[in-house]
């Protein structure tokens, strides 16, 4: 799949968000991130999107792609679950957890919160992410589905006690 990263295509659902459309937007973001395809993920952000990711400040799609490429080279077997925390007309706050394995075989669960701001095209213009990593054993893993997409009936973070 070829993505023209110089174009800002409309991404539904659009603001003003309702509870239902915010949940849909979150699930679409989760599904995209779980593909581990940096260009696909970056296409959901405005051309001049600004991120704070942990201690890094990122500006624009090319920097997003660079960050995500390095991330998924380091974080093997990545699986992510996002959940609505709060929303308003053009903002969504989520909490999330993802599991991954490093290059020496140690498993981690990373927990965090994101605050998102969207433009009228439904593209994210700002992403502020706070993330903490916790080393876990293989037996403590909870995200065990096959493939890249979490099944619709797979438990949420709340249902998993996270």
> Which CATH number describes the domain made up of 19-140?
3.10.450.50
Count the Cβ atoms, other than its own, within 10 Å of residue 121: 14
pLDDT of residue 1: 56
pLDDT of residue 3: 77
Give the distance from CA 9 to its chain's centroid: 19
Calpha distance 49→12 (Å, rounded): 17
For residues 77 and 100, the answer to whether their CB atoms sit within 8 Å is yes
Q: Binning pLDDT at 50, 70 and 90, where does residue 2 land?
A: low
The pTM of the whole model exceeds 0.85:
yes
pLDDT, one tens digit per residue, over 67-124 is 999 999 999 999 999 999 999 999 999 999 999 999 999 999 999 999 999 999 999 9
Per-domain boundaries in the chain: 19-140
Sheet hosting strand 124-136, strand order edge to edge: 56-59, 45-53, 124-136, 107-118, 91-101, 76-87
Q: Average pLDDT for residues 120-141, to the nearest whole number? A: 98
For residues 45 and 124, the answer to whether their CB atoms sit within 8 Å is yes
């Amino acid at each position: 799949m070829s993505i023209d990263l110089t174009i800002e295509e409309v991404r539904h659902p659009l603001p003003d968000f309702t509870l239902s459309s915010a949940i849909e937007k979150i699930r679409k973001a989760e599904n995209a991130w779980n593909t581990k395809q940096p260009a696909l993920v970056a296409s959901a952000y405005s051309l001049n999107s600004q991120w704070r990711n942990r201690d890094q400040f990122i500006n624009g799609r090319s920097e997003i792609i660079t960050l995500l490429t390095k991330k998924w080279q380091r974080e093997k077997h990545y699986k992510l679950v996002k959940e609505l925390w709060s929303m308003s007309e053009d903002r969504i706050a989520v909490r999330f957890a993802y599991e991954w394995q490093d290059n020496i075989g140690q498993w981690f669960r990373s927990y965090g919160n994101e605050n998102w701001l969207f433009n009228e095209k439904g593209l994210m213009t700002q992403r502020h992410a706070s993330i903490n990593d916790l080393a876990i054993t293989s037996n403590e893993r909870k995200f065990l589905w096959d493939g890249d997409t979490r099944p619709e009936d797979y438990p949420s973070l709340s249902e998993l006690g996270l």
